[in-house]
A and B are shown apart, each in its own frame.
Chain A
Amino acid sequence: MFIYLEMIEGPEDRSKFEQVYHAYRELMFCVAYQILHHHQDAEDAVQHAFLKVAENIKKISEPVCPKTRSYVVIIVENKAIDMLRDRKKHSTVELDDNYGISVYYDGDHALTRCILQLPARYREIILLKYSHGYNLHEISQIMGISLSAAIKLDQRAKKKLQSLCEKEGLL
């Protein structure tokens, strides 16, 4: 049986990207603006994020649903932080710096609190892996980094999470 050249984007996929775009572009702008505090930069971050969404459109099953909402928010946060780091590259910016979406949690689950206390980059990879179910290869594509960088990021995220858990008395 031949597997042959095929159009990846059937009509349903064609509308999928546009549905995602129209449903979430303003939300994505707000997330980017919360991090960058600059309209033009925030629009650029949204645009970069949509490029990533387009590249990985097959990873989206439902264009408008809570999972996709979370997915695009993670991507735009990631892109906005990239831009923030570029903007500040002449000063020393560590990965642990607390950029990203501000989150307030008053629940009882210490592990959830620890995940939310992670630096945004670490939180993103934990959420993509454990909440969205992507493997590290897929995450490397979504975040636009190499597989080895994704592996390192995953290791560092878990190490940081372990440290936070120890402080919380979980370990």
Chain B
Amino acid sequence: MISEEMLRNAAIEADHVLMDSISQLEECHEFSPHFEHNMKRIIRRAKHPLLYGSLKKVACFVMVLLISGSVFLTVNVEARDAFVGWLREAYEMFFVYHYDGEYFEDQLPKQYHLSWLPEGYTEFERFEDAGNTTICYVDDSGHLLSFSYLQNSVDSAWYIDVENAAKHSAHVGSVPAEVFIFHASDVSNVIVWKSEDNNTLFRITAFLEEADLIRMAESVTAS
């Protein structure tokens, strides 16, 4: 019978042996420009992910923008032009949305707010960083709601954890949107969409039904 303790001790020794066995490997590889380029993007993303917490459990999400009509984009050049700058990349368990277009130094950021909120929610925190703005609300029961928008930013990326989400297509007014519904009491649902002029990505996360998410999204107004 092998006890857990014996297994642990042997695993630690095996780990050391393994590390010793690779210590002679020569480390003198010159990485390709393609690799360096891709790693710069990964490092950039690693610098700016956001984490969401709830009262029950800290949940890590990646926030993202919505690039709607990806199939449409592949066949329509005009539509592709309309989406210049915003990219979505799909990984095993999350999506990453980021801006990959030109940065306009002289462009003043717009401010947005939610004109409609479900009853009981009040603002309690606001973050602004590198074109990424998030406003947090909470109700009397401690349920969180966040409204975020991303504009003119080459340094920020949004991620959304899609592992346990049901993804729906929806519309915010006439603009296509994506809704991520998590069937768990401790993970908030998410809606992501972009402004009609394609310059801004929006996201709302809340412990609310899809209809309320859409209603809030449709109430977004430039301040």
Contact = CB atoms under 8 A, between A and B. Distances in A.
A69 B125 contact: no
B25 A30 contact: yes
Nearest to B60: A8
A31 B125 CA distance: 46
Contacts of B72: none
Interface in A93-152: 101-105, 107, 109, 111-112, 114-116, 123, 126-127, 129-132, 141, 144
A66 B20 CA distance: 11
B53 A6 contact: yes
Given A27-B25, A105-B17, A107-B17, A21 B52 contact: no
Interface string B34-52: 1100110011011111111
B7 interface: yes
Helix, strand, loop or mixed for chain A's interface? helix
Contacts of B22: 27, 30-31, 73, 101
Interface string A39-82: 11001001100110011010000000010011001000000000
Given A3-B53, A31-B22, A109 B10 contact: yes
- Report, as a range, how many residues of chain B touch the other chain: 35 or more
Nearest to A31: B22
A131 B12 contact: yes
A3 B58 contact: yes
B19 A70 contact: yes
Nearest to B52: A5
B35 A43 contact: yes
Given A4-B144, A17-B43, A43-B35, A116 B17 contact: yes
B76 interface: no
B136 interface: yes
B17 A9 contact: no
Contact of A127 (B15, B21, B38): B15
Nearest to A105: B17
Interface residues of A, number: 60
Contacts of A25: 31, 39
A101 to B, nearest CB: 6
B6 interface: yes
Interface of B: 1-2, 4, 6-8, 10-15, 17-19, 21-22, 25-29, 31-32, 34-35, 38-39, 42-43, 45-55, 58, 60, 91-94, 124-125, 127, 129, 134, 136, 138, 142, 144, 146
Interface of A: 2-9, 14, 17-18, 21, 25-27, 29-31, 33-34, 39-40, 43, 46-47, 50-51, 54-55, 57, 66, 69-70, 73, 101-105, 107, 109, 111-112, 114-116, 123, 126-127, 129-132, 141, 144, 161-162, 165, 170-171
25 contacts: A2-B125, A2-B144, A4-B53, A6-B50, A6-B51, A8-B49, A8-B50, A17-B43, A17-B46, A18-B43, A26-B29, A27-B25, A29-B27, A43-B34, A55-B93, A70-B19, A101-B21, A105-B14, A107-B13, A107-B17, A109-B10, A112-B14, A114-B10, A131-B15, A162-B2
